[in-house]
Amino acid sequence: MDEHANTPSFHVKQPAASTVSEVEEGRSAASAPAPAPPAEHPADDSPSQGQSSGETAPAATDPFDFDTPLARELADLTARRRALEGVDVTLSGRTRVMTVSNQKGGVGKTTTTVNTAAALASVGARVLVIDLDPQGNASTALGVPHTADTPSVYDVLIDDFPISDIIQVSPESPNLLCAPSTIHLAGAEIELVSQVAREHRLRTALEEYLAAHGDQLDFVLIDCPPSLGLLTINAFVAAHEVFIPIQCEYYALEGLSQLLGTVRMIQKHLNPGLRVSTILLTMYDGRTNLAQQVAQEVREHFPHEVMRTVIPRSVRVSEAPSFGQTVIAYDGNSAGGIAYREAAVEIIQRGERAAIDEEGAR
């Protein structure tokens, strides 16, 4: 993070005028309707009303022409799906603790946490999701009960419960574990103020758990609330890496600078080993100028941290939580499902390269 000591200033150009309308939110390539066949022409050869005999009628679109944007998208999805079926990943054997954070709401933190966790589990990684958001959406998406009387992260932070006492296995996969959140966590910000070592409560509990079960876990993903309060600080202190999802819109860039300032403060005073390792572009629509400009800006400022994979807007990703599932279980072959599976593979491969570099440095 030293290389980014100066907080970047982002400037996005005004998008050029476009004749293409905004893409409907949630539309995925895999679920887009096929183009309708053109209307039949009148039987007679006389020009239509308002058309002079000298004008040439526009050529009708061939409904069976496979060289169309939709056909190319479907072919691309098929190729990516086949590539994922043949991918071979090697887990490093060490537990990577990543906090998924961005103080701006609506950028896809919880969606990214649960879908990345499920995608990692689908390739054989054993993953623990710690739901640190009082809303409990990650617990819902993983199909884990989190009623008011359920043992939860609140009990770990306030009453010193061991994490092993609150962990539940997601019905989606035996490799997918969850430490759920309950509504009681909403009051934890105030209650933590009077606690001893209030910033280190989660780290202490997690280190005790990993000392006993670390060889059984490949990843710990901590889902943070959309704020920079004590819950998020606990997540930063407990983690090794910061995983930042960024929505491809201008307001998301404004919040990034504040988040990086907080990370530097944590590095200086509480957790020197913390680093921003992963930035994932979410809700991406390549047909809008703004999304392309935001992606370009972020890649220029963080060339090593930004992932190649981008997460598109997808109806399937939005629908999955209503069924108590991640998109991997709900429709893993949709555009969103494939993107999160690719992101999981890239995260594992980047970790392998980082481990090799560390060994070489020694």
Taking the complete model, does pTM exceed 0.75, yes or no?
Answer: yes
Distance CA 250, CA 248 (A): 7
For residue 286, give the nearest of 250, 311, 305, 306 by alpha carbon: 311
pLDDT in 10s for each residue of the chain, 362 residues: 444 444 454 444 444 443 333 333 344 333 444 444 444 444 444 444 444 444 445 555 554 556 787 787 788 788 888 888 877 788 878 899 999 998 777 788 899 999 999 999 999 999 999 999 999 999 999 999 999 899 999 999 999 999 999 999 999 999 999 999 999 998 888 998 888 889 999 999 999 999 988 788 999 999 998 888 899 999 999 999 999 999 888 777 777 888 888 899 999 999 999 999 999 999 888 778 888 888 888 898 889 999 999 999 889 999 998 888 999 999 999 999 999 999 999 999 987 766 665 555 55
For residue 152, give the nearest of 116, 178, 128 by alpha carbon: 178
For residue 274, give the nearest of 218, 308, 232 by alpha carbon: 232
- Give every CB contact of residue 291 below 8 A, 6+ residues apart in sequence: 248, 249, 284, 285
Structure tokens at 90: 């090697």
Any idea which residue has 């998020």 for tokens?
A: 232
CB 157 within 8 A of CB 202: yes
For residue 157, give the nearest of 117, 186, 126 by alpha carbon: 186
Bin 195: left if φ > 0, else alpha if -120 < ψ < 50, else beta. beta
CB 109 within 8 A of CB 284: no
Torsion sign, CA atoms 128, 123, 116, 259: positive
Q: How far is CA 101 from CA 63, 130, 134, 244, 256, in A?
A: 45, 12, 14, 5, 10
Any idea which residue has 């983690």 for tokens?
A: 239
Q: How far is CA 342 from CA 153, 194, 300, 311, in A?
A: 30, 43, 22, 10
CB 193 within 8 A of CB 68: no
